[in-house]
Amino acid sequence: MDIQKQLEQGVSPGVPGEEDLALINGWARRELAAQEVYVFRVTLCDNEIDRDGERFTAAGLEKLAALFPGKTGLFDHSGKSGDQVMRVYDAFVQRAAERKNSLGEAYAALCAKVYLLRSEENAALIRAIDAGIKKEVSVSCAVKRVACSACGKAWGKCDHKKGVAYDNGKPCHAVLEEPTDAYEFSFVAVPAQPQAGVMKKKQESVSCGAIVSFGAADKMQDEAERLELEQLAADGRAYRAQLLEKTLRQGLLAVPGMGRRLLEPMCGGLSTAQLKSLCAAFEEQAAKTLPLRPQLRGAAEGEAEGNEGFKL
């Protein structure tokens, strides 16, 4: 893609200008000289539907632009401190009035300025960036809501499918709304968005070409749902174990001669509903077989005196 007209001038790949160096030093603990740092630009994400069937809104990109400065750069979203070699020092939304996305909206992309130290450890990475080897990137962030583009409901709460064209004739997708946090960006091999990555400057023009992935909102939602289902399953297993034990106890009282070894295999294969019914039947029979009454109550009218009801 080509968004040459909108890109700021005065910053060459690898060499920070005075304004950029001032922004970089806002994140550094000591004043860095221009010769100590290497800078480059990267397109993090845009408002196009990506390979995961997800899309940021233009308003969402503006919020991410405010959240990304100061965030770290990693490799493959590793989360390892040893992979922290880059940092975003500025971010902005780049618009191309003459270009539309696949939905007919004005195209917008979230761009970032990134710096890393010039050192022996980073020399190979800088060469790889300059050579176009390290190019594709992916972002990790959080959003408040993921909505269905076809009906507006929370994603997963309707029957619409990604990629299917419904009434408006446009492919259904998940709309990532109201970003709440930005975590990091990473160099990756196979990202999701076809229009994000390191920008290359040639003479007075700058073009973008690379990739980005998101997917974090759906993954977080799926993980929450998985944990909820696991908890429900654990609660169900605990309830069934208690019900089975109660059924066995009542069964031994109702039919003393059967024995636990015979009764347990018979009950183990029953459904929870069948266990509840059998337990109720055993309780009723046990009450007849072994009626319980307080020993000090005394005999009721018509009831024989004695200790028969209290023998084991």
Can you spell out the DSSP letters for 36-100?
Answer: GEEEEEEEEEESS--TTSEEE-HHHHHHHHHH-TT-EEEETT---GGG--EEEEEEEEEEEEEEE
Residue 104 belongs to domain spanning: 18-143+180-214
Say whether both 251 and 269 belong to one domain.
Answer: yes
String of DSSP letters for 101-155: -TTSSEEEEEEEEEEEE-STTTHHHHHHHHTTSS-BEEEEEEEEEEEETTT-SBT
At residue 212, the pLDDT reads 35
Say whether both 123 and 244 belong to one domain.
Answer: no
Tell me if 206 is assigned to some domain: yes
Say whether both 129 and 235 belong to one domain.
Answer: no
Asked whether 7 and 94 are in contact (CB, 8 A), the reply is: yes
Taking each continuous run of H as one helix and of E as one strand, the counts in the chain are: 6, 9
Tell me if 299 is assigned to some domain: no
Tell me if 129 is assigned to some domain: yes
**Rounded distance, CA 37 to CA 16, Å?**
8
Tell me if 66 is assigned to some domain: yes
Asked whether 107 and 47 are in contact (CB, 8 A), the reply is: yes
Say whether both 133 and 191 belong to one domain.
Answer: yes
Angle, helices 260-268 vs 216-254, to 10°: value is 140
Say whether both 127 and 241 belong to one domain.
Answer: no
Tell me if 151 is assigned to some domain: no
User: To which residue do tokens 């917008």 refer?
Assistant: 108
Q: What would the two tokens of residue 35 be?
A: 């010769």
Across the chain, which has 312 residues, the per-10-residue mean pLDDT values are 29 75 93 93 91 91 95 86 89 88 91 93 90 87 92 91 87 93 85 51 31 44 71 83 86 80 82 86 78 59 58 57
Structural domain count, the chain:
2
At residue 197, the pLDDT reads 47
Say whether both 234 and 193 belong to one domain.
Answer: no
Tell me if 152 is assigned to some domain: no
At residue 220, the pLDDT reads 54
Say whether both 209 and 233 belong to one domain.
Answer: no
Tell me if 308 is assigned to some domain: no
Asked whether 91 and 68 are in contact (CB, 8 A), the reply is: yes
**Rounded distance, CA 216 to CA 52, Å?**
11
Is 272 buried (19+), middle (13-18) or exposed (0-12) by CB count in 10 A?
A: exposed
Tell me if 171 is assigned to some domain: no
Say whether both 186 and 242 belong to one domain.
Answer: no
Say whether both 271 and 134 belong to one domain.
Answer: no
- For residues 8-24, one letter each, b for 16 or more C-beta atoms within 10 angstroms of the residue's C-beta and e for the rest, the string is eeebebeebeeebbebb
Say whether both 194 and 266 belong to one domain.
Answer: no
pTM comes to 0.57
Say whether both 199 and 262 belong to one domain.
Answer: no
* Domain final residue pick, 189, 214, 239: 214
Question: Which residues lie closer than 8 Å to 189 by C-beta, 6 or more apart?
Answer: 76, 136
Say whether both 42 and 60 belong to one domain.
Answer: yes
